[in-house]
Structure 1
């Protein structure tokens, strides 16, 4: 059996003197899984995602992603890890309005040291695959919400990450655009991309996740195949 993409061992995160935001979580995600993390506000979903992304460090426990002990990384090492190992998709796209669509997608590759011509070719390939190549020279503000999220996914995938993290990827979209992104994530997973997504969108979880993990008060309350929730 192949090595896990994510392995969390007894991970706890405390802020100040309050109750832990994440409380003793042990979780393994294998290559090719699409895991939807569900739970009410304040359940620890975003904290868990930030720990996996290396944007935060656990108070206790270990976080290993694609063979990297993320909890041991300093700020510079964590930035390199994010560029090389993971792609991130956010609720509000986080595209740079003063860069064209193509330049937005190319940016992480160039920061990783990919030659500009190679980055441009990879960006063009992704934009075509994701159906937004006609907007390559446009600026993000001219695109619909669904199109901007497709551009954000292209940017997240440009360095061929082992893991795609998505934080409420349909939260800012209308119904039609949300369905568009749900289909896109499902297709990416069918092609083998490992995905962890945080969402309140039960339709998203049912349509593209192979497994759902429910959090309550920072702990895993339920972990089951997605088919069991349909």
Structure 2
């Protein structure tokens, strides 16, 4: 059997004296899958994403991604892991306003040790693939929300990560731009990119993923695989 790209086993995360944010969560994701994590506010979606990204640690259980025990990593090793294996897309883009679009995309590659010329070449290539190369020398403030999210996706892909994590990627977009980003994520997955999308948007989940994991009160309530509605 092929080793899963993501494997969570009996993962729990507690904060203070309240109910656990995650409570005994176990599931795996194969390379090339597109998975949506659904659930209401407070269900544990963002906590789950943080654990997979190595931004947080579980109180109990194991988190393994691309053969790395993420739950055991220290701060410096977690940063290296994210640069090498994980691309992240956020609701509010998190682009640097004082850098051009191309420099925003190239920055993670430079931080990972890629020389400036190669990082710039890779950035321009990705911007072209995602249809926003015409803005390479512009600053993010000139772009629409949908265009900025495309730039953010390019930045997340510049180090060729095994895994792309998206946290409410259409939450700050209008309906048309959200559909555009959903189509983009679907295209990336069709090209082989492993994708985990945290969202409350069923339409987005149906447009770009083939499996949904529903969380309720920090537990997996449902895990369903079905053909995509694309």
Distance 1:68 1:226 in 2: 29
CA deviation string 1:76-118 (max 9, x = no partner): 0001110100000000000000000000000000000001111
SS at match of 1:227: coil
2:135 matched residue in structure 1: 135
Distance 1:227 1:201 in 2: 18
1:16 matched residue in structure 2: 16
Q: TM-score, normalised by structure 1?
A: 0.98
> Are 2:189 and 1:177 aligned?
no
Identify unmatched segments of 5+ residues in structure 1.
Answer: none
Distance 1:229 1:175 in 2: 17
Query: In the TM superposition, what is the alpha-carbon distance from 1:228 to its structure 2 partner?
Result: 8.8
2:225 matched residue in structure 1: 225
Say whether the 8 Å CA contact 2:49–2:165 is kept in structure 1: yes
Query: In the TM superposition, what is the alpha-carbon distance from 1:18 to its structure 2 partner?
Result: 1.2
Query: In the TM superposition, what is the alpha-carbon distance from 1:2 to its structure 2 partner?
Result: 3.0
Distance 2:174 2:131 in 1: 19
Structure 1 segments of 4 or more deviating over 6 A? none
Say whether the 8 Å CA contact 2:208–2:228 is kept in structure 1: no
SS at match of 1:28: strand
Distance 2:155 2:108 in 1: 7
Distance 1:156 1:18 in 2: 34
Distance 2:61 2:3 in 1: 19
Distance 2:94 2:214 in 1: 27
Distance 1:105 1:222 in 2: 36
2:204 matched residue in structure 1: 204
2:95 matched residue in structure 1: 95
Distance 2:132 2:3 in 1: 34
Distance 2:69 2:104 in 1: 29
1:34 matched residue in structure 2: 34
Q: TM-score, normalised by structure 2?
A: 0.98
SS at match of 2:109: helix
Q: CA RMSD in A?
A: 1.2
Query: In the TM superposition, what is the alpha-carbon distance from 1:17 to its structure 2 partner?
Result: 1.2
Distance 2:10 2:101 in 1: 41
Distance 2:23 2:58 in 1: 10
Distance 2:225 2:27 in 1: 14
Identify unmatched segments of 5+ residues in structure 2.
Answer: none
SS at match of 1:7: strand
Say whether the 8 Å CA contact 1:8–1:28 is kept in structure 2: yes
Say whether the 8 Å CA contact 2:22–2:48 is kept in structure 1: yes
Distance 1:17 1:61 in 2: 19
SS at match of 2:77: helix
Query: In the TM superposition, what is the alpha-carbon distance from 1:210 to its structure 2 partner?
Result: 1.1
